Amino acid sequence: MHTVKVVTLGCSKNLVDSERVLKMLSNAGLDAVHEGDGYANIVIINTCGFIGDAKEESVNTILEYAEAKNNGKIEELYVMGCLSERYRDELQKEIHEVDRFYGKFDWTTIADDLSRKHGHPSLCYDRTITTPSHHAYLKIAEGCNRFCAFCAIPLITGRYKSRPIEEIEDEVRMLVGRGVKEFNVIAQDLSGYGQDLYGVQKLPELVDRLSRIEGVKWIRLHYAYPAQFPMEVMDVMANRPNVCAYLDIALQHISDKVLLNMRRHITADETRALLAEMRRRVPGLHIRTTLMTGFPGETEEDFEELLRFVEEQRFERMGAFAYCEEEGTYGAENYDDSIPEDVKQNRLDRLMDLQERISMELQQQKIGHRLEVVIDREEEEFYVGRTQWDSPEVDPEVLVKKDRTLMIGGFYEVEVKEALPFELIAVVV
């Protein structure tokens, strides 16, 4: 039997595609594994092409496995995903060890090709869950129609394409049947869901229908777009107990000038009104956002405005990155990337230092509170869990003292005893 190793780089949306490939190859009779140590007969690399660091990691990983193939450690090497979608011709000319390059949306093709070559054909919409068995990412759409000045995603993935509600419901029921209790709903732009398929935004209806499927314990929403946000989804969040009071919404900046140059289609006043209305409709809402420093034309005054905005809003969760020019984007073709890298980084460091202080203050407010957590894993001294406000891999964790035996994937009530900026320490009650 041939062993196929799938290596996933980049975001959770890529991970879902890898899971589909793994399941199809497994159904075809191949021994398909996700990452792990060592090599396999066949290696598939699912690449990321979003920003400079991610592209570099993807290229370096391809070169690593190309060398392994030259040394006889693997027999076949295939590349798929965003980097391959965008730079296929260039990669084919430079890296001859790769047997074939596939695009972002060719996951069925690569699985079918390998199934026919080494097993038996098996095409279906199914997945092998690579996350802990109690939670899964749920991708509801592909592509993006926003064309922000800094972002290459629309150039890679194409126009927005929603999945039908019924298809998503069927996938959730299938995964619940396999033990999944927590669903992290993802898309490049949650806000636009349904517009292409139904002529209206359908995210509120979708979330409501998913929340009514028996066995769904938590639903968490990721990557909303602030302009034309479907506010009715906040009412669903407020009224359905298994829809977590959590929203990941990338704001990027607050300066009107910078937002305009970014092509974000929203103003500072509209942003503040949006956030206020969200918090009004969902008391206790935890907002995760992403911000950017060093976009072309950002002055020190613009950055100071951003700092004041973060201080004012006190985001429960926040990430940030320094601007990196991406060829082919509106920003690369129309703006001069003239802000020095050390200035970008200095602003980023100041922003994250501020957020760490805010996060610590917010975390301390949870001391003495009783919270429900799901247990993800066991370590030497603690069980490691998360609350409804903590998305896997990116948000704080809850370290639960080992004074009794807990089940991985189980939900427990705990009392918070200590707080750190990005961790809580608790005991089971």
CATH of the domain at 349: 3.80.30.20
Q: Which domain holds residue 77?
A: 3-118
389 and 417 co-located in one domain: yes
106 and 169 co-located in one domain: no
Question: Among residues 83, 118, 153, which one ends one of the domains?
Answer: 118
Inside any domain, residue 227 = yes
244 and 271 co-located in one domain: yes
pLDDT at 107 over 80: no
Inside any domain, residue 126 = no
The pLDDT, as a whole number, for residue 222 is 97
The pLDDT, as a whole number, for residue 106 is 81
Percent of the chain with pLDDT over 90: 80
pLDDT at 63 over 70: yes
pLDDT at 1 over 90: no
The pLDDT confidence band at residue 125, using thresholds 50, 70 and 90, is low
Residue among 92, 114, 123 at smallest CA distance from 43: 114
Question: Among residues 75, 92, 118, which one ends one of the domains?
Answer: 118
Tens of pLDDT, residue by residue over 184-214, are: 999 999 999 999 999 999 999 999 999 999 9
174 and 245 co-located in one domain: yes
More confident residue, 20 or 418: 418
Inside any domain, residue 173 = yes
**Weakest-pLDDT range from 58-72, 116-130, 396-410:** 116-130
Average per-residue pLDDT for the chain: 94
Count of structural domains within the chain: 3
**Weakest-pLDDT range from 100-114, 142-156, 298-312:** 100-114
The pLDDT, as a whole number, for residue 337 is 95
The pLDDT, as a whole number, for residue 38 is 79
26 and 92 co-located in one domain: yes
Inside any domain, residue 51 = yes
Whether 420 and 366 have beta carbons less than 8 Å apart is answered as: no
The pLDDT confidence band at residue 371, using thresholds 50, 70 and 90, is very high
Question: Among residues 69, 85, 118, which one ends one of the domains?
Answer: 118
79 and 216 co-located in one domain: no
Q: How many residues does the chain have?
A: 429
350 and 227 co-located in one domain: yes
Question: What amino acid occupies position 191?
Answer: S
The pLDDT, as a whole number, for residue 98 is 95
The pLDDT confidence band at residue 121, using thresholds 50, 70 and 90, is low
Cα separation, 271 vs 226, in Å, equals 7
Task: List the CATH number of the domain containing 54.
Answer: 3.40.50.12160
309 and 289 co-located in one domain: yes
The pLDDT, as a whole number, for residue 112 is 80
Inside any domain, residue 381 = yes
The pLDDT, as a whole number, for residue 184 is 98
The pLDDT, as a whole number, for residue 248 is 98
Inside any domain, residue 123 = no
The pLDDT confidence band at residue 20, using thresholds 50, 70 and 90, is confident
267 and 313 co-located in one domain: yes
The strand pairing partners of 425, in sequence order, are 399, 418
145 and 214 co-located in one domain: yes
The pLDDT confidence band at residue 127, using thresholds 50, 70 and 90, is confident
168 and 26 co-located in one domain: no
169 and 285 co-located in one domain: yes
pLDDT at 175 over 90: yes
Cα separation, 357 vs 337, in Å, equals 30
Any idea what the Cα angle at residue 170 is, between residues 199 and 172, rounded to 5°? 100
Whether 219 and 185 have beta carbons less than 8 Å apart is answered as: yes
pLDDT at 69 over 60: yes
Whether 41 and 75 have beta carbons less than 8 Å apart is answered as: yes
Averaged pLDDT, 167-195 = 95
Inside any domain, residue 129 = no
pLDDT at 307 over 60: yes
The pLDDT, as a whole number, for residue 365 is 97
CB atoms within 10 A of CB 411: 16
pLDDT at 380 over 70: yes
Inside any domain, residue 124 = no
Task: List the CATH number of the domain containing 387.
Answer: 2.40.50.140
Averaged pLDDT, 377-385 = 95
Tens of pLDDT, residue by residue over 207-233, are: 999 999 999 999 999 999 999 999 999
Buried-state track 125-160, b at ≥16 Cβ within 10 A, e below 16: ebbbbbbbebbbbbbbbbbbebebbbbbbbbbbeeb
The pLDDT, as a whole number, for residue 122 is 55
pLDDT at 124 over 80: no
H or E element in which residue 8 lies: strand 3-8
